Amino acid sequence: MRKQSAKIKRVLSVALSLLMILSVISFPTLKTKAAGTVDDFVERCYLIGLGRPSDPDGFADWKDQLLNGRAVGIEVAYGFMFSPEYIKKNKKDDEFVNDLYQLFMGREPDEGGYKDWMNKLSNGASRLEVYAGFANSQEFYNICESYGVTAGRYVMGFNRETNNNVNLFVERMYKITLERIGDKDGQKNWVEQLIKGQITGSECARRFIFSQEYTNKNLSDEEFVENLYLAMFGRPSDADGKADWLEALDNGKTRDEVFAGFANSIEFDNICKTYGINRGTYTATHVCPYKVGDIIKFGKYEQDGNLSNGKEDIEWVVLKVNKGKAYIVSKYILEQRKYHSGSDYVTWETCELRQWLNNDFYNAAFSESEKNKIPLVTLENKDNPWSGQDGGNDTEDKVFLLSLEDTETYFGEYSWVNDDYPEGFNQNLICASTPYVNESGIPDVTIVVDDSSDFKNKYGYTSEVDGHLAGAWWIRTVGTSPELVLGVGVCGNCGGGSNYYPYYDGIGVRPAMYISY
């Protein structure tokens, strides 16, 4: 069938405005109930709708519209049932209804349904209204699904261009984000709400992007960002833009915040206008509540030494924010405990302190709702960098200690005094003990340092922080020999000589962990 001029103009009015956007999208290959292909669907429309085989030009045009996102099933069916060629047949109402049954339902009319449709036509209903009833039927949806074609939804009271454009917007969301054609109820819901202005384009996109079905795909950040480009911009990512979004995620932005950037963009607004829908504005609700250096309160533990007034809020320093989690370490030394009993070789994996942190401390400090925010993470337990002493196996923990590498990464490099001092000194590593800890004795001062004023001024040697006595504290890296473990001294000294016997009970515990937000 060759399109008449009216048909060509109608197609161009929609197609030309969409072509630049849609032509760059490569829709996923969809798995359907295999009864045929898009080719078979188009040929079926010719044979049932017009009673003849397809002509090459017409067939190619309809197939192209379906494959390149310029028409859905109901639009193609309309193109046949209301084409000049079909109208010239001058069919009576009963023939028209019978043809609708064959095309949209693939069967002979049932007596009750047939009478009902004939009565509607006799009482003044238009053929378009009857078409809409067939087009929106479950049976037509099933037929379209079997050919891998989106059926679409026809909404009465709105012109066909509006219907088709909104159907195409919804179709792209299904195909790009969920990699399937829409289910009948879902298609109906989205199309009707968009056409009637009950939801905006950004809200519709958000519900797809953050649906359980989409979340279950477990996309990496890179896949997530690339998917946003395709679904909301209709194009693959550009290298600089993608790098910026990935950096934002690495630095603590939530996926909701990144989505908001796409949803509120001019580029997405232009696409929504092309489909004839309102973009709207979107405000991210899942926003990263932390930034590096923040002091936050989470959990409770005895700190002031007064047992009668209950536990106090634990303060934590935010070291890193990444992928929905904040890496935190306690601001103060919360306990004094042995790393391990005895003097045998011990690693973080086998030490008693690890068990205490993940059991006694974990249960004492956090409520059940707080525990749900503490993920189990894999820790790499590296060898001692100076001696090569074996750091043991990697572990999975909820609460743990900082490693030597962590102290360098998050607190800065050490300053080295001279060859007489094998430790490096770092003012940022000096940590105060709580009054509760100090009641059990001031943490060990395990290194004698130069008492000159130059040393004090240069390296911040002090025994107090904010009025609290400073203490030595464990880190989980093994020492330079099998019987030793590394720690941080009271004056921020940490390095090759900052070794402690694991059975020392005067060394402080400064817990670290991740919390999800």
CB 459 within 8 A of CB 451: no
Q: Identify the domain boundary among 157, 180, 211.
A: 157
Query: H or E element: which one contains 131?
Result: helix 127-135
* pLDDT tens sequence across 31-77: 333 358 999 999 999 999 999 999 999 999 999 999 988 899 999 99
Q: Is 430 exposed, middle or buried (0-12, 13-18, 19+ CB in 10 A)?
A: buried
User: Can you give the pLDDT at residue 441?
Assistant: 59
- With 0.95 as the threshold, say if the pTM is over it: no
Q: Is residue 6 domain-resident?
A: no
Q: Strand, coil or helix: what is 424?
A: strand
Residue 407 counted as domain residue? yes
Number of domains the chain contains: 2
Under a CB-based contact definition with an 8 Å cutoff, are residues 505 and 321 in contact? no
So what's the pLDDT on residue 252? 82
pLDDT (tens digit per residue) in 271-311: 999 999 999 999 998 888 888 999 999 999 999 989 999 99
Task: Look up the CATH number of the domain holding residue 62.
Answer: 1.10.3130.20
> Is residue 35 in a domain?
yes
CA dist 251 and 254 (Å) reads: 9
**What is the SS3 string spanning 82-96?**
CCHHHHCCCCCHHHH
Print the SS3 string covering 302-333.
CCCCCHHHCCEEEEEEEEEEECCEEEEEECCE
Helix (H, G, I), strand (E, B) or coil at 255: helix
> What is the average pLDDT across 10-33?
39
Judge whether 417 lies within some domain. Answer: yes
In a domain, 5, yes or no: no
Say what the pLDDT of residue 2 is: 36
pLDDT above 90: percentage of residues in the chain? 70
Final residue belonging to a domain, choices 129, 157, 185: 157
**Looking at residues 78-94, what average pLDDT do you find?**
95
Residue 213: is its pLDDT beyond 80? yes
Q: Above 50 in pLDDT, residue 220?
A: yes
- Report whether pLDDT(484) > 50: yes
Question: Does residue 171 lie in a domain region?
Answer: no
Q: Which of 157, 185, 205 is the last residue of a domain?
A: 157
Q: Would the pLDDT of 423 be above 90?
A: no
Tell me if 355 is assigned to some domain.
yes
pLDDT range class, residue 14, cuts 50, 70, 90: very low
Q: What is the mean pLDDT of residues 375-403?
A: 95
Q: What is the largest CA-CA distance in the chain?
A: 109
- Structural domain for 83, as ranges: 29-157
Range from 187-191, 313-317, 341-345 carrying the lowest mean pLDDT: 341-345
Q: Letter for the amino acid at 392?
A: G
Residue 164 within a domain: no
The string of pLDDT tens digits covering residues 425-468 is 888 898 989 999 887 755 444 333 444 445 455 544 555 566 66
Please give the pLDDT value at position 445. 41
Average pLDDT, stretch 143-157? 93
